[in-house]
Amino acid sequence: FIGTGAMNGAIIYGLIKSKIIKSEQIYGYDASDKILNECVKKNEIQKCQSSNELIQKCQVIILGVKPQYLNQVINQINNSLIQVIKEKREILLISIAAGFKLTTIYEQLNQNLKNYLLENENLTKYIKLSRVMPNINCMISESASGYIMHPLNNNDFKFKQIVEIIFSKIGKCVFLTDENYLDCVTGLSGSGPAFVFMFIEALADGGVFTGLSRETSLILATQTVLGLQNYYYNL
């Protein structure tokens, strides 16, 4: 995991909780020593001193940094990716950066690595690319995630399955055929929790207005929404 803040930290916690992987098999790096040390202490994962060290040790890498830092991270890991190509390894890069298109990541990687590829080779032969849009519910392993593979990796079923397994362990995961659909996912399940929070608050406000206490109103409003979720699934 490159980036061990809130979202990647939640994914790490969910994966360990699901017992799909042991904590000592997970490696993490973050530019912030404080954030990295907190994640290492909480989840007992392996600590890397750099993003390049992490790529040397891992086959599956989740880029969980803020979108404004993603270009910088891609450039930082360039030497390790060159080594991946030279060793003819296969790795999977998964980006969860909101609003940062996979096509942009591909173009930047291609610009950096094209001189190290044979004439008819494409970088996706060695570096498999995926983009996932989870939501805040991954913090309780109930995420609604949409994901895509780079078009040249759509038939790499092994790596597609890896993405599916990871994100199905922290909620529900849906494969999308076009990257443009991830914008829809961002609006629906990415922003959806904020609207549900507002709805719960509004229900509770109604309870307070009619004379109930705030605590009682929130309990009833929250349980109503929670119960409806289960009821809806069983219709």
- Cα gap 15→181, rounded to integer Å: 26
| Residue recorded with tokens 């790795």 | 91
Percent of the chain past pLDDT 90, that is, above it, reads 91
Taking the C-alpha atoms of residue 182 and residue 147, their distance in angstroms, rounded to an integer, is 7
How far apart are the C-alpha atoms of 230 and 213, rounded to whole Å? 26
Kindly tell me if the per-residue pLDDT of 18 is higher than 90.
no
Q: Please give the pLDDT value at position 42.
A: 95
C-alpha–C-alpha distance, residues 80 and 76, integer Å: 9
HEC string of the chain equals: CECCCHHHHHHHHHHHHHCCCCHHHCEEECCCHHHHHHHHHHHCCEECCCHHHHHHHCCEEEECCCHHHHHHHHHHCHHHHHHHHHCCCCEEEEECCCCCCHHHHHHHHHHHHHHHCCCCCCHHHCEEEEEEECCHHHHHCCEEEEEEECHHHCCCHHHHHHHHHHHHCCEEEEECCCCHHHHHHHHHHHCHHHHHHHHHHHHHHHHHHCCCCHHHHHHHHHHHHHHHHHHHHCC
Residue 198, marked binder: no
Query: To the nearest 10°, the Cα dihedral for 222, 225, 226, 228?
Result: 150
CA distance 111 to 194: 38
State the chain's mean pLDDT as an integer: 95
Calculate mean pLDDT across residues 23-44: 96
The answer on pLDDT for 215 being more than 90 is yes
Measured at the CA of 10, the angle between CA 89 and CA 147, to 5 degrees, comes to: 55
pLDDT digits (tens, 9 = 90+) for 147-168: 999 999 999 999 999 999 999 9
> Does 61 count as an annotated binding residue?
no
Domains along the chain?
6-179 (3.40.50.720), 192-233 (1.10.3730.10)
C-beta of residue 182 within 8 angstroms of C-beta of residue 133: yes
Question: Which pLDDT score is estimated for 235?
Answer: 86
> Is 97 annotated as belonging to a binding site?
no
Lookup result for tokens 């409003």: 221
What are the tens digits of pLDDT across the range 84-106?
999 999 999 999 998 899 999 99
The reply to whether 146 sits in an annotated binding site is no
C-alpha span between 11 and 38 (Å, rounded)? 15
**Cβ neighbours around 174 below 10 Å, total:** 15
